[in-house]
Structures are given as structure tokens and as C-alpha cells.
Structure 1
Amino acid sequence: MTKKLKRWTFLDSVNAILFIVVLLFLLDFQNEGLMSWILLAVFAFWLITVVIRNIMISKIVKDPQHPLHNIQTGKNSGSNIKK
């Protein structure tokens, strides 16, 4: 059984908290330039995946022909109804 896709997950919340901590306390381009750029790249990749996931969910919801449309919108397809 396929689960409904979530726009924001618990892991995204943890990543957001870590991102704030990194921004406030760990970025130091003067002394640790390489590590600062690596951390920014990692969080940029995470942010891009969150945006892409939300775009894909929006496309699924808007397209009634998409295989995941009924699951994502919570509509029950006629073939799953028990008689």
C-alpha cells in the first residue's frame, strides 16, 4: 500500500533546526571556509529537495490521471470499494 506524500516531515523539522544552529554558531568563513561552504551546500541540497517534493505533490494533486492522485487527495477509487 502506498502512503500519502507529506509536504513537511519530522526529518525536515530536524534539518531546519540544525540549519538555524549552523547559521548562528558554526559558519566561520574566516577560519573554516571549506567547512562553511560544505555545510551551506548540504543545506541548500536539502532545501531544494523540499521544494521539488512540494512541486511534485502539487502536480499529483492537480492531475486526476496521475496514479497517486487518489491516494494524495484522499479520494477512494471505485476499484477499492468492497461489496
Structure 2
Amino acid sequence: MTKKLKRWTFLDSLNAILFIVVVLFFLDFENNNLMSWILLAVFAFWLITVILRNVMISKIEKDPKHPLHNIQTGKNNPGEVKK
């Protein structure tokens, strides 16, 4: 059984909290230049994946021919009995 895709997950909430903490307390380009850039790159990658996931979900919801459309929009597949 395939689950509905979520736009924002618990893991995303944790990442957002960690990002705020890192920005407030750990970024130090003067003393730890390399580590600061690595942290920014990691969080940029996470942010890009969140954006791309939301774009993908929007495309699935708009395209009725997509295999995941019925699952994502909550509609039953033809011939499928809802339990």
C-alpha cells in the first residue's frame, strides 16, 4: 500500500530547528570557515529537497493520469473498495 506524500514532515521540522540553531550559534566564518560552508551546503541541500518534493506533489495532484494522483488526492481508484 502506498501512502500519501506529505509536504512537511516531522524530520523537516527537526531540520528547521537545527538550521535556526546553527545560524544563531555555530556559523563562524572567521574562525571556522570550512565548517560554516559545509553546514550551509547541507541545509541548502535539505531546503532544495523540500522545495522539489512540494513541486512534485503539486504536479501529482494536478495530473489525473499520474499513477499516484488518486492516492495523493484521497480519491478511490476505480474498482477499489475503501475499507
- TM-score range (shorter-chain normalised) is over 0.9
- Aligned length in residues: 82
In structure 1, distance between residues paired with 2:47 and 2:62: 23
Identity %: 80
- What is the CA-CA distance between 1:81 and the residue it aligns to? 2.4
Give 1:80's aligned residue: 80
Give 2:40's aligned residue: 40
- What is the CA-CA distance between 1:33 and the residue it aligns to? 0.2
Partner AA of 2:70 in structure 1: N
Unaligned stretches of 5+ residues in structure 2: none
Three-state SS of the structure 2 residue aligned to 1:67 is coil
TM-score normalised according to structure 1 size: 0.97
Give 1:9's aligned residue: 9
Q: Work out whether 1:65 is the aligned partner of 2:61.
A: no
Q: Deviations over 1:44-63 (max 9, x none)?
A: 00000000000000000000
Q: Output the aligned Cα RMSD.
A: 0.9
TM-score normalised according to structure 2 size: 0.97
Partner AA of 1:75 in structure 2: K
Partner AA of 1:4 in structure 2: K
In structure 2, distance between residues paired with 1:60 and 1:73: 9
In structure 2, distance between residues paired with 1:79 and 1:24: 53
In structure 2, distance between residues paired with 1:50 and 1:32: 27
